[in-house]
Amino acid sequence: MNTSLHDEKTFYKTFLKDLERCNNEVIIESPFITSARMKTYWPIFRKLYDRGVKIYIITRDPKEHNQGYEVQSESEIRKLEILGIQVLLCTGNHHRKLAIIDREILWEGSLNILSQIHSREFMRRLEGGRLRMKMLYFGLMTNNSGYLINEQDIASALFYLTTNGNKNATKEDAIKFLEENVKMSHIIAQKVVADEQNGKIKKVNLNNIK
């Protein structure tokens, strides 16, 4: 597995290159969306859509924002949906930030991908290895089954928690974290599976992931 760390200054250049090279599918989970930051993404999102790349955005329900963020979020979500990008809204203080590109590259960390402007943040980029999209999303998802948490998932979640502000996290904390994210993980996985079956995106054989 290849891993690299980035701050808010180096993240966008590398992330945009990853998007440029995307062939099949992008999933971005960003609780906040601002009009200023979306100016960075509109050109590449349009290019990806024109190439037939499926884009999924997971973000916080605008009703849960304040200080003007709800207006920006609603406006940008409307533009995304007009373009043809699927947007999934979360409730309950959704705060996770990550991106998955072609189920090969995982970005995760503290930076709100679709909103960050001035804050100091970090992001970790992982490519290849066992983390390829098994993390929280695709494990054993099918049209007829939910997300089945196993020991490897718990270990990955525990590592995530202990390296992101909860050094004293326990196995029970990791299980709770996974269970709290099952619903949205299941929703997005079902949408991706449906798109695979309808021929909208290339089917990925998860049995080949190592």
8 A C-beta contact, residue 69 and residue 34: yes
The whole-number pLDDT of residue 139 equals 42
Q: Which of these three, 95, 110, 132, is where a domain ends?
A: 132
Residue type at position 206: L
- Rounded distance between C-alpha atoms, residue 151 and residue 99, angstroms: 23
pLDDT digits (tens, 9 = 90+) for 146-171: 445 566 667 767 777 787 778 898 98
β partners of residue 100 = 27, 106
171-197 vs 151-162: helix crossing angle, rounded to 10: 110
Residue type at position 161: L
Same domain, 92 and 111: yes
Q: Is residue 19 part of a domain?
A: yes
The whole-number pLDDT of residue 82 equals 94
Q: Which of these three, 112, 132, 152, is where a domain ends?
A: 132
3-class SS at 25? strand
Q: Is residue 209 part of a domain?
A: no
- Rounded distance between C-alpha atoms, residue 182 and residue 186, angstroms: 6
What element of type H or E holds 179? Answer: helix 171-197
Strand 54-60 vs strand 105-109: parallel, antiparallel, or unpaired? unpaired
Same domain, 76 and 98: yes
Q: Is residue 204 part of a domain?
A: no
Same domain, 74 and 141: no
The whole-number pLDDT of residue 56 equals 92
The whole-number pLDDT of residue 65 equals 76
The whole-number pLDDT of residue 140 equals 36
The whole-number pLDDT of residue 91 equals 75
The whole-number pLDDT of residue 210 equals 36
Name the residue range of residue 48's domain: 1-132
8 A C-beta contact, residue 99 and residue 113: yes
- Rounded distance between C-alpha atoms, residue 28 and residue 175, angstroms: 23
Same domain, 37 and 112: yes
Residues of the chain with pLDDT under 70: 1, 92-94, 129-153, 156, 179-210
Structural domain count, the chain: 2
Q: Is residue 206 part of a domain?
A: no
β partners of residue 56 = 27, 86
Cα 202–Cα 206–Cα 209 angle in degrees, nearest 5: 115
3-class SS at 210? coil
- Distances from the Cα of 68 to the Cαs of 112, 114, 121, in angstroms? 17, 15, 22
8 A C-beta contact, residue 119 and residue 8: yes
pLDDT digits (tens, 9 = 90+) for 55-91: 999 888 888 877 778 899 999 999 999 999 989 888 7
